[in-house]
Structure 1
Amino acid sequence: MPEYSPDPAVQRRRLRSELRKAREAAGKTQKAVAEEMDWSPSKLIRIETGLVNISTNDLRALLQSYDVSADRIPGLIETAKAAREQTPWNAYRGVASPELIAFLGYESSASIIRYFEPVLVPGLLQTEEYARVVISTILEQPPESQDVNDLVELRVDRQERVLHGGSPPECHFLLDEPVILRAVGGKDVMRRQLRHLREQMEQSNITVRVVPLSYGLYEHVRVPYTLLEFPDPADEDVLYLEDAVDELIVRENSLDETTKITPITPAHYLQHFWEFEQEIDKASAPAAIERAIALFE
């Protein structure tokens, strides 16, 4: 098995988590550390939130302030160096949002990926022609425009890296039934898309479940989400939420204090996904997809 080499986005998240934990273990507030380091409070906040990288000298001084043991320092310095590397997804920064680029780094480093999709075939399972219809519709641009071409290229690149790399992750897809019934791009495009989906389901690392319309309404039915788990226990799970106007990346300990009723955490959404895995038999998906294919013949 190839050595696990996470994307710089994962390294940045790991470093900021370790620094926050080290400060809390030292019993110091952000304000106290900033005063001790002769920094502005905003500098430390930006470091702990991952908005800026930290130099090796500043990192050594910070770890000394936290009384971090000498044997841990080399590893944290290596993590900081890796975090400063450029992610390959930066090649698409002209057309992809910073949140999407960060998500792609997490996704390409994950060992287990769970996708819930209520509207469209998930991007990893889309054919190129289906993806072109979806992207051009969302952007309200012609199918052959440069932005659409670039994002279709990104989608194909993403599939190659995640599904066809040296050590592909476990991928679990939960689709609401309208996903396979909606005629995106017309009958021919949709029929080929469903056949492609059927072929992908034959891969040993891919499972697909289809939630039937008869199931009725359920929690999170309106919002697609992705859950990512990583091979290194030091890396916290990631939740990615996406809708028509916004994207949100959430890790387990980044709960927004304004969220009081519905907890937006990976654990909450994972519990939702697990419940469906218990209630929806994956063996029923092929028949559902065959019925859908027949509709587009």
Structure 2
Amino acid sequence: MVPARSDADRATNAVLARRRLAQGLRRYRQRAGLTIEDLARGLECSAAKVSRMETGISGIRIQDLTAITHLIDFAESERRDLEELVRRARGREWWQEFSDVVPPGSGTFFGLEDGAATIEIHATSLIPGLLQTADYARALVGSVNGVAPELLTRRVALRQRRQRLLDRPDAPRLTVLMDEAVLRRTIGDGPLMAAQWEHVLRCAESAGVVVQIVRSDAPVHPAEGVGFTLFSFEDQDLSPVVFAEALGQQTFVDEPDPVRVYVDALASAQRVAQAPDISLEMMSKRVKELRTGG
């Protein structure tokens, strides 16, 4: 029998290592029969700090872990596993090379995206970044007033770098549900959009990528007008995470009940969406319209 992999073995990047570390701390605390308040008293810190450590908001240092081992009994393998996760959680990841253009909190998004087994996107106004061409991204980012040319170049490069995950042997399964309004919207000009939709078509015709269009006359569904991304992971111990953004405000949802609301909303949208083959036909027709000016 193949032995089960440890939490450290399953951590594929610093963000997932931090999440596994947080969930491990919570699991071992509960196993010891301690409350958050009990652990906080033993560590001589606030309950809020322990809560932040258990949700991954605050990092856990080796010193913190050493103090915790005086309060909770760990097997030697468990302790080594947690120490390795602490080290990995402090590791450097590729998106840190773009720190000049990565908004606060976006590192968490990139880590979830990079480590997910499945990515499901409900897009209401724009083509998702994983499917954008460089020209589309440049036109989109450049539409914001005051963006310096060098920052524009860096932001487009960041978007292109993210897309490399779709070329990996272990690429995540990507499902994109897009409102028909996205199909009709023009960013830049007609030729740019034609090339963009041709790119989406190529992606959608490859294994592991599904694109479905929700027609404007489709029945109203719970996800109507709400754009979000659902990340799920190969390791069932890691709960799914929802990411939503509005007016620059980022929200991550990982509590089971709220996540279920998004999962159900996504399923409702998929039920009224066009089948993948019909969606491909709609995108192909749109390319012809853009090429001919129709």
- What letter corresponds to residue 155 of structure 2 in structure 1? L
Q: Which moved more, 1:265-274 or 1:186-195?
A: 265-274
Cα distance in 1 between the residues matched to 2:10 and 2:195: 35
Structure 2 match to 1:136: 142
- What letter corresponds to residue 123 of structure 1 in structure 2? G
Cα distance in 1 between the residues matched to 2:281 and 2:142: 31
Structure 2 match to 1:258: none
**Which residue of the other structure, out of 260, 263, 270, is the alignment partner of 1:267?**
260
Cα distance in 2 between the residues matched to 1:282 and 1:180: 14
Structure 2 match to 1:90: 96
Kept in 1, the 8 Å contact 2:221–2:268? The answer is no
**Which residue of the other structure, out of 180, 186, 203, is the alignment partner of 2:183?**
180
Q: Secondary structure at the match of 1:140?
A: coil
| Deviations 1:128-183 (CA, angstroms, capped at 9, x unpaired) | 0101111122x3235x62221111010000011x1112321111110101111111
Kept in 2, the 8 Å contact 1:99–1:248? The answer is no
- What letter corresponds to residue 270 of structure 1 in structure 2? V
Structure 2 match to 1:245: 248
* 1:154 lines up with 2:151 in the alignment: no
- What letter corresponds to residue 146 of structure 1 in structure 2? E
Cα distance in 2 between the residues matched to 1:53 and 1:273: 32
Q: Secondary structure at the match of 1:114?
A: strand
Aligned positions, number = 282
Kept in 1, the 8 Å contact 2:120–2:230? The answer is yes
Kept in 2, the 8 Å contact 1:130–1:193? The answer is yes
Shift of 1:66: 2.8
- What letter corresponds to residue 83 of structure 2 in structure 1? I
Kept in 1, the 8 Å contact 2:223–2:266? The answer is no
- What letter corresponds to residue 189 of structure 2 in structure 1? G
Q: Secondary structure at the match of 2:105?
A: helix
Kept in 1, the 8 Å contact 2:221–2:269? The answer is no
| Deviations 1:191-242 (CA, angstroms, capped at 9, x unpaired) | 1111111111111110111001111433222221111111222222111101
* 1:195 lines up with 2:198 in the alignment: yes
Cα distance in 2 between the residues matched to 1:167 and 1:115: 19
Cα distance in 1 between the residues matched to 2:271 and 2:282: 18
Kept in 2, the 8 Å contact 1:10–1:109? The answer is yes
Kept in 1, the 8 Å contact 2:32–2:73? The answer is yes
Sort the Cα spacing of 1:4 and 1:27 in 2 relative to 1 into closer, same or farther, 3 A: closer
Q: Which moved more, 1:100-109 or 1:59-68?
A: 59-68
Structure 1 gaps of 5+ residues are 254-262
Structure 1 match to 2:29: 23
Structure 2 match to 1:118: 124
Q: Which moved more, 1:280-289 or 1:216-225?
A: 216-225
- Map 1:7-22 onto structure 2 (within 5 A): 7-22=13-28
* 1:37 lines up with 2:31 in the alignment: no
Structure 1 match to 2:111: 105
When the two structures are superposed, what TM-score results if normalisation uses the length of structure 1? 0.87
- What letter corresponds to residue 288 of structure 1 in structure 2? M
Kept in 2, the 8 Å contact 1:9–1:87? The answer is no
- Please give the root-mean-square deviation of Cα atoms over the aligned residues, in Å: 2.1
| Deviations 1:42-94 (CA, angstroms, capped at 9, x unpaired) | 54344233343323243133144233444422222211221121222112222
Cα distance in 2 between the residues matched to 1:63 and 1:277: 47
- What letter corresponds to residue 100 of structure 1 in structure 2? S
Kept in 2, the 8 Å contact 1:141–1:148? The answer is no
Structure 2 gaps of 5+ residues are 1-8
- What letter corresponds to residue 38 of structure 1 in structure 2? E
Shift of 1:271: 1.9
Q: Secondary structure at the match of 2:247?
A: coil
Cα distance in 2 between the residues matched to 1:294 and 1:43: 57
Cα distance in 2 between the residues matched to 1:57 and 1:146: 41
